[in-house]
Amino acid sequence: MADSQGDPRVLFVMNLVLSSVFAGVVIWGLSFIDVVAFSWVRVVGLALLLMAITYVVTR
């Protein structure tokens, strides 16, 4: 059977969703212990950073 890499669109959406959820949990946790203030801009920024790192590591 051929080695399938999967549909890149599905992989992108999975990366987007999982990175966003993880970023939200991290920023919420840091705001819960008063390290940083919760902000959607911080969540989006961390999610984009995580997506970029994931893309580089998997390529």
Q: What is the pLDDT of residues 24-48, one digit of tens each?
A: 999 999 999 999 999 999 999 999 9
**Average of pLDDT values for 9-28?**
96
Residue 5 pLDDT: 73
Q: Which class for 27: exposed (0-12), middle (13-18), buried (19 or more C-beta within 10 A)?
A: buried
Work out the angle at residue 48's Cα, subtended by the Cα atoms of residues 45 and 31, and round it to the nearest 5 degrees. 40
* Cα 55 to Cα 40: distance, rounded to the nearest angstrom: 22
Helices (H), the chain: 8-32, 40-58
| Type of residue at 54 | T
pLDDT at residue 16 tops 60: yes
- In this prediction the pTM is 0.83
Residue 6 pLDDT: 78
